[in-house]
Structure 1
Amino acid sequence: MFRSVLRPVALAAALMAALAGCGSSSHTNTARVNAAGSVDLSGITLTLGDQAHGLETLLDAAGALKGVPYKVTWAEFQGAAPLFQAMQSGKVDTGTAADLPTLQAISGGLKIKVVAAATANGSGTAILTQPGSPVKTVADLKGRTVVVSSAKGSIAEYLLAKALADAGLSYSDVHVEYLLPTAAQAAFNAKQIQIWATFGVYQDIAVEKGAQLLVDGRAGRTSGVGFISAAQSSIADPARKAAIADFLRRLAQAYAWTTTHAAQYAQVFVQKNGVSPSVARTVVSQGARALQPVTPQVVTEVQAVSDLMNHIGSLPSDVRVAGTVDTSLFPHALSQ
Structure 2
Amino acid sequence: MFSTRILAVVAAALLAAGCASSQGAESGQVTLTLGDQANGLQTLLKAAGTLDGAPYQVKWAEFQGAAPLFQAMQSGSVDTGTAADLPTLAAISGKLPIKLVAALRSGGAGTVILVRDESPVHTVADLKGKTVVVSSARGSIAEYLLATALQQAGLKYSDVTVQFVLPTAAQAAFNSGQTQIWATFDPYGSIGVASGGRVLVDGQDGRVSGIGFISAAQSSLDNPAKKAAIADFLTRLAKAEDWASSHQDQYAAIYAKTNGVAAPIAAKVVAHGSTRLGPVSPDVVSKVQAVSDLMHQIGSLPVDVKVASVADSTVYQGS
TM-score range, shorter chain: over 0.9
How large is the RMSD of aligned CA atoms in angstroms? 1.4
**C-alpha displacement of 1:64:** 0.9
Q: Quote the offset at 1:32 in angstroms.
A: 3.0
Counterpart in 1 of 2:273? 287
Answer yes or no: is 1:186 the counterpart of 2:133. no
Matched to 1:256, the amino acid is: D
Partner Cα separation in structure 2 for residue 54 and residue 327 of structure 1: 24
Match of 1:305 in 2: 291
Deviation at 1:65, TM superposition (A): 0.8
Corresponding residue for 1:45?
A: 31
User: Residue 33 of structure 1 is aligned with which of 12, 16, 25?
Assistant: 16
Contact 2:175 2:196 in 1 (8 A): no
Shift of the 283–34 alpha-carbon distance from structure 1 to 2, 3 Å rule, reads closer
**Distance in 1 between the 2:240 and 2:28 partners?**
22
Deviation at 1:259, TM superposition (A): 1.8
Aligned residue for 1:169, secondary structure, equals: coil
Q: From 85, 88, 109, give the equivalent of 1:102.
A: 88
2:248 alignment partner in structure 1: 262
Query: Given the alignment of the two structures, is residue 213 of structure 1 paired with residue 199 of structure 2, yes or no?
Result: yes
Q: Which residue of 2 aligns with 1:125?
A: 111
Deviation at 1:146, TM superposition (A): 0.2
Q: For each residue in 1:177-221, what CA deviation from the matched residue of structure 2 results, as whole angstroms up to 9, or x when unmatched?
A: 000000000011111101000001100011012201100000110
Match of 1:81 in 2: 67
For residue 42 of structure 1, report the CA deviation from its aligned partner.
Answer: 4.6
Partner residue, 1:234: 220
Local SS of the residue matching 1:96: strand
TM-score (ref. length: structure 2): 0.92
Q: How many positions carry a matched residue from both structures?
A: 300
What does 1:48-67 align with in structure 2 at a 5 Å threshold? Answer: 48-67=34-53
Instruction: Give matches, 1:150-229, under 5 Å.
Output: 150-229=136-215
Aligned to 1:114: 100
Conserved? CA contact 1:113–1:230, under 8 Å: yes
TM-score norm. by structure 1 comes to 0.87
* Counterpart residue identity of residue 32, structure 1: L
Q: Which position in structure 2 is the counterpart of 1:69? A: 55
Could you tell me which runs of 5 or more consecutive residues in structure 1 were left unpaired when the two chains were aligned: 1-29
Q: For residues 227 and 55 of structure 1, what CA distance do their matches in structure 2 show?
A: 12
What is the CA-CA distance between 1:43 and the residue it aligns to? 2.0
